[in-house]
Amino acid sequence: MEEDSVLNYASPIHKSLIQDDVDFGIGVVPAVLIVILTIILMRLVSIWCIFAGVVLFGIAKLATKKDPHFLEILFERLLISDVYRS
């Protein structure tokens, strides 16, 4: 008897639905946030702030080495309110 797997279903599942949605090894939201922050810093300070963007990208890459969605989950948890009102 075969083990149940995503690949053993009778109806085919598109491969993009089972792949992680990450850009350059980090999540989409942190990558876009770093790019936007870098562009704003470049406009406000100088073109040399592109190196700060590369450093931020490297730090994000190191933080998401084991879990590519770590930063997305972290941002989501930081933005959730601790007080729930009814």
Residue 63 lies in a domain: yes
Residue 46 lies in a domain: yes
Residue 86 lies in a domain: no
Average pLDDT value for residue range 56-60? 91
Q: Which SS3 state, helix, strand or coil, does residue 40 take? A: helix
Task: For 67-80, give the DSSP string.
Answer: -TTHHHHHHHHHHS
The structural domain count of the chain equals: 1
* Structural domain span for residue 44: 28-79
Instruction: Answer for the pair 72, 29: CB distance below 8 angstroms, yes or no.
Output: yes
pLDDT at 53 > cutoff 80: yes
**pLDDT value at residue 37:** 92
- Reported as a single tens digit per residue, the pLDDT across 5-49 is 656 656 666 655 556 666 677 878 888 889 999 999 999 998 888
Residue 18 lies in a domain: no
